[in-house]
A and B are shown apart, each in its own frame.
Chain A
């Protein structure tokens, strides 16, 4: 599979009056065409900011991408002009956002909103766009799509809105869809249906997917590869298999213990990772996970670990050899 996305040492920061929030602090990863990558981590660890940085959607001020490279099909997205990124947004890379209730415009019809990216990028008319919107709504399993395209978001349920968002993302046949916690606000059965739907559709169209979530349990079935993020950095990455069966970072191990897993004995107790995620405006030197880590040593407090190969493409950023 040819490479689609190559992120190198991405650094995105938010500048407040007297502090700098290092939301993304040297993130690197790769993604091949058609592949599904899960980006996992607790709330506030910089997942959304990573995603928004890829499309250069960081609000400035207060935010700014201060360093790194983002190669998409060989082009560095951080070096091209605003017009050129705009051609990529919604066209080659589409985003599905985390709040289905508020991410659709309340005063435009669903059909119009689905048709819009196609009008802009494919130069089709609104009339054609609405026809396509109808097909797309059918594809995401919304009943009576010919009627539904004329509805406004408030006439849709949360799950239906998220389906509409997915339809909107698929319109231009993007190479990559970034789904930022596409299902968090929805109930569990709907979550599973939607993830299944996304998986099938991305497979059908050969679209690569970055699936952002804070639930390691959910992504087991849907992702090829997993990046675990902590405090703005990737602390472990590998295939879904490696991460689930052979986690090497204490944080990954903690996360796995904190979520129910598919093959797990129902009686196993869930243990949340103890402590609080760090304040990204004052991450201590040394390992950011140090204060919460059960294995921490003196070295962890002083020196920040870098990603090291465990085996093949499995990497972890930890001084300790935990098994």
Chain B
């Protein structure tokens, strides 16, 4: 198992380097670079001299692969992700300050998504073709069809204009006021979770139906077990493997979702950081955030792989 994890980690490294290089180069190709921004903001006039000095000062005059090499080298050797071009602060500090918000949002969204998807999916399967099943399936389709940004915007706009209520956007640290903190995350988390729930619900239902047809489920009934036990002990675990795979595949979607949702609900997470950085062409921050997100996604996939061992004894014994 450890050998396996190590092997997986080693294969991750080239993937990350290539992905980083793509982001690193592409962001520099976006029209209007950081110099243009600085020059126009500080109103220093577009003299070639200042451009050149600025470029040189920020190390942007060198070819991209040299810049990339230097960036990578610093990370590998010193764990130094560089500094923000605008604020001069360390990129690592910026990310670490914002990451908890995004993680909390992602985690709450995932939890709400699963709390919706698993019970409804299971119910739909064991009561196949009843009214309850149809309602469940409709909910699933809505979840897949309604974009999170649209739903989020509607929730921000309409309740406010109808009843003068809008979701709280004031973020208090969890350590100071856990309830207030969770309240802020509840609405955005639900919006994002609902979007994830649709696919997961359908998958859970389909897998559950498949498993319920198996011979060992008939054996379980023949033992005189209650429906609850047959479903939860005998069927659920066996139908979870593809569902877990799906959850792993959804993590990148979740990350994309948090960026949009953070903007709608003004949550100061990595998504907002990223957006600000893109607008200001703050290259080190963009590259750092991308690398960080890549690491998280790959880590989650590793966890998913490892959970197969728990779910499927055949994998465990290999």
Query: Which range contains the number of B residues in contact with the other chain?
Result: 20 to 34
Interfacial residues of chain B within 141-182, with CB under 8 A of chain A in the complex: none
A106-136, CB < 8 A from B: 106-108, 116-117, 120-121
A88, A99, A103, A168, most chain B CB atoms within 10 A: A103
Contact of A89 among B222, B229, B237, B238 (CB under 8 A): B222
**B7 interface contact, C-beta 8 A:** no
In the complex, A55 has a CB within 8 A of chain B: yes
**B214 and A94 contact, CB distance less than 8 A:** no
A43 within 8 A of B: no
Q: How far is the CB of B244 from chain A (nearest CB, A)?
A: 13
Report the minimal beta-carbon distance from B209 to chain A, rounded to whole angstroms.
Answer: 12
Is A97 interfacial (CB 8 A cutoff)? yes
Contacting pair A87 B314 (CB below 8 A) = no
Total contacts A to B, CB within 8 angstroms?
70
CB contacts (< 8 Å) of B245 on chain A: these are none
Check: A102 CB closer than 8 A to any chain B CB: yes
Let me know if A152 is at the binding interface, CB within 8 A: yes
Interface residues of A in 43-96 (CB under 8 A from B): 55, 57, 86-91, 94-95
Report B213-247 CB contacts with A as 1/0, cut-off 8 Å.
01110111111111001000110011000000000
- Tell me the smallest distance from the CB of A126 to a CB of chain B, in Å: 12
Best-surrounded residue of B224, B225, B314 (most CB of chain A within 10 A): B224
Contact, CB under 8 Å: A95 / B222: yes
In this complex, how many residues of chain A approach chain B with their Cβ under 8 Å: the count is 28
A154 interface residue (CB < 8 Å to B)? yes
- Check B223–A117 contact: CB distance below 8 A: yes
Name the CB-closest residue of A to B240: A107
Inter-chain contacts of B311 with A (CB < 8 A): 107
Complex Cα gap A91–B223 (Å): 7
Q: Give A73 Cβ to nearest chain B Cβ, in Å.
A: 16
A101 nearest CB neighbor, chain B only: B215
- Is B312 located at the chain interface by the 8 A CB criterion? yes
B42 at the interface (CB under 8 A from A): no
Q: Is the interface of B mostly helix, strand, loop or mixed?
A: helix
A243 at the interface (CB under 8 A from B): no
Taking a contact as CB atoms under 8 Å apart, the answer to whether B223 and A106 are in contact is no
Instruction: Please tell me if the beta carbons of B222 and A94 are within 8 angstroms of each other in the complex.
Output: yes
CA–CA, A105 to B314, complex, Å? 12
A105, B238: Cβ atoms under 8 Å?
yes
Beta-carbon contact of A55 and B222 below 8 Å: yes
Contact of B226 with A86 in the complex, beta carbons under 8 Å: yes
Residues of B within 8 A of A103 (CB): 215-216, 218-219
Bound CA–CA A104/B234 (angstroms): 10
**Which of B219, B238, B313 meets A152, CB within 8 Å?**
B313
Partner of B314, one of A89, A90, A152: A152
A309 at the interface (CB under 8 A from B): no
Selected A-B contacts with CB under 8 Å, 25 pairs: A55-B222, A57-B222, A86-B224, A89-B222, A90-B224, A90-B225, A91-B224, A97-B215, A97-B218, A97-B219, A97-B222, A102-B214, A102-B215, A103-B216, A106-B216, A106-B312, A106-B314, A107-B237, A107-B238, A107-B312, A117-B224, A120-B225, A120-B229, A154-B313, A168-B223
4 other contacts beyond A91-B224, A106-B312, A120-B225, with CB at 8 A cut-off?
A94-B222, A102-B216, A107-B238, A154-B314
Closest A-B pairs by Cβ, 8 of them:
A89-B224, A90-B223, A90-B224, A152-B313, A102-B215, A105-B216, A95-B222, A103-B215
